[in-house]
Structure 1
Amino acid sequence: MTSSHPRPTSIRIFLADGTPEGLRIVEKSNWTGRAVVANRSQLEGAMKRSEMAQPGVYVLTGQTEEGAAKLYVGEADSLGDRIKQHVSGKEFWTRAIAFTSTNEGLNKANVRYLESRLLSMAKTANQWAVDNTAYPSAPPLNEADRADAEWFLAEMLVIFPLLGIDAFEAASSQAAASSSEPVEPPLTLYLNERGAEGTGREVADGFVVLKGSLARVEETLSIHDYMREQRQLLQARGVLAPQNGKLIFTQDFRFSSPSTAAGVLVGGSANGRLAWKDADGKTLKAIQDERLSDV
């Protein structure tokens, strides 16, 4: 199990070619791991780095045809050689993140274990579409090696969100604690509009709709294509399922904003800051304004 208790740390992102969106090298204090981050168009420069000749685990990220976030997880004895194979083999991805060790501490069993764990976490979280068709079981490791691999994984999971990747964290884990008020119970918000009945919570990078929320089946004539595609995709992945003339959320699911969450529930455009309210009827907008007024 990875640690659920965040702690202060330092992360260094080196811009290898001097531009924010260029080739990046990510390191973390007191960690032997290193990440090489490169867009598809920058692979030539990335392949020249020594890290790419080492064993490791990698993630390819991009979008589905509908515009939803999508990823592929893999492992390799030589990261560069394996990722080059995906240039012609996979079309969806636009960025590669390769993790290796600076002290040659990762062997074949380690990287296969990390690949298996990441795939399992992405499948359980069900936040991103996953391009992998196979989900290999983790190889047997002795107790010490498994502990080391889990420690390496925990550090990777700190870095992923900094790169805009939240595929490995279940929405329920974020909804269980409020990032804005860590000493108070999370504030549950409610939506009751146009036949939709939802419960949700603010999280650091979006808004989580809780399991059991009911979305409207019907969609407004003015619904944006993006919102329609979101609803279709969630139904295809089983996040939304038919129930008594409604669509029920079968799991907690994280959206990029309260308005997107509200729009999926009501089947059309919605101002989430006004649609989501606490038990007393106070809107999310009023709650957020009050927080700022106390600062």
Structure 2
Amino acid sequence: MSAGRTIRLFLVDGTPTGLKTAEIMNWTGHVLTGPRSKLSELIQRPECRRPGIYFLVGPNPENTLRPLVYIGETDDVAARLKQHNRPADKGGKDFWEHVCLVTSKDQYLTKAHVKHLESLLIQNAIEVGRCDLDNNTNHEYAGLPESDQADMATFHDEVRTILPVLGFDFLRAAQTAAAGDKPTQPGPTFRLKLGKYGIEASAREIDGEFVVLKGSLARNKWTGPDHGYKALFNQLCADNVLVPDTDGLRRFAEDKVFASPSAGAAVVCGRTANGRNAWLEVGTGLTYGEWQDQQVKGAQPAPDEGTG
């Protein structure tokens, strides 16, 4: 099991929808985030006078399944955010609804550091594929000494750790069952079969996420009524996660994380499906729901260390 981490979260104005700050124990980084509606308050914060990395996040009108994100760097965050807040026809950006700023508590980060971080984070976002980037290009920056590059790699890893806690998932790499991965909570393999169509798909629960495995088969197209999962199916086809296979089927070209077993089952079946019943544990024949219930029934609470 992975070691635990301590993250300190502070609600600046006492509300969960307002400005928030976050820090990880023994990390020099500091995160400030809030909605665009609080921008006038955010830019008055002292963090906005330091060099830093910032993320502008909002819905993507051309892709409802992934957010649109802009990743930038600056040594004057307040001035840069004022520019981005202008109307699009005056050089601003209309899409974003939230902003997230990453700076350093000890003011260690310099302009050179944040330019290097920006390059790392843009490349990371491209590789993970959980968002669409509004950035036009990714300028690789290699102007740091080797020791500073190592420090920024560590800083980058901490940014990836803390952002999902604040609701920003676009840098979090999906767990897979590929060789070399070491999930902290490996689960059994589940199968879904549609004998009529010659479809067989496999999945595992890895670190709390439901992952349909590479090589699994799926219907060639969505056959059910309009549903949110239809958009998911079509997007996976467009992203070449579901690629054409023999016999008029599609095949998963890579491991794919789904929000639930039902989402994975729907994509495999090309129609809505109850994933808790459709996926069967290999070896026992238990449905996913029965397997999960078995895990819960078998769990025992840890002893209360406060009692004698």
Paired position in structure 1 for 2:306: none
**Aligned twin of 1:236:** 238
Kindly tell me the number of residue pairs found equivalent between the two proteins: 286
**Contact 1:210–1:252 (Cα < 8 Å) also in 2:** yes
Query: Which one-letter code corresponds to 1:104 in the other structure?
Result: Q
Uncovered stretches (5+) of structure 1, i.e. residues with no partner: none
Question: Could you report, residue by residue, the CA deviation over 1:54-75 in whole angstroms, capped at 9, with x for unpaired residues?
Answer: 1111122222224222222221
Q: How much does 1:86 deviate?
A: 2.4
Q: What is residue 71 of structure 2 aligned with on the other side?
A: 73
Residues 32, 101 of structure 2: 8 Å contact kept: yes
Any unmatched runs of 5+ in structure 2?
Answer: 300-308
Equivalent residue for 1:90?
Answer: 93
Separation in 2, partners of 1:292, 1:6: 21
Match of 1:100 in 2: 103
- Alignment-mate amino acid for residue 240 of structure 2: G
Of structures 1 and 2, the larger Rg is shown by 2
Report whether the alignment pairs 1:110 with 2:113: yes
TM-score (norm 1): 0.88
Instruction: Note if 1:16 corresponds to 2:12.
Output: yes
1:205–1:256 Cα contact (<8 Å) kept? no
SS in 1 for 2:125: helix
In the alignment, structure 1 residue 136 sits paired with structure 2 residue 139: yes
* Aligned mates of 2:183, 2:280 — CA distance in 1: 16
Q: Distance in 1 between matches of 2:26 and 2:107?
A: 15
Percent identical pairs in the alignment equals 38
1:151 corresponding residue in structure 2: 154
Equivalent of 1:171 in 171, 174, 198: 174
Q: Is the 8 A contact 2:224 2:270 kept in 1?
A: no
What is the aligned partner in structure 2 of residue 37 from structure 1? 33
Q: 1:252 to 1:126 in 2, by over 3 A?
A: farther
Change (3 A) 1:220 1:124: same
What's the RMSD between the two structures over aligned residues?
2.1
TM-score, length of structure 2 as denominator length: 0.85
Task: Provide the C-alpha distance between the structure 2 equivalents of 1:277 and 1:64, rounded to a whole number of angstroms.
Answer: 36
CA offsets per residue over residues 71-117 of structure 1, 9 Å max, x none?
Answer: 22221122222233222332332211110011111112211221121
Q: Kindly report which structure 2 residues correspond to 1:41-60, keeping only aligned pairs within 5 A, or say none.
A: 41-60=37-56
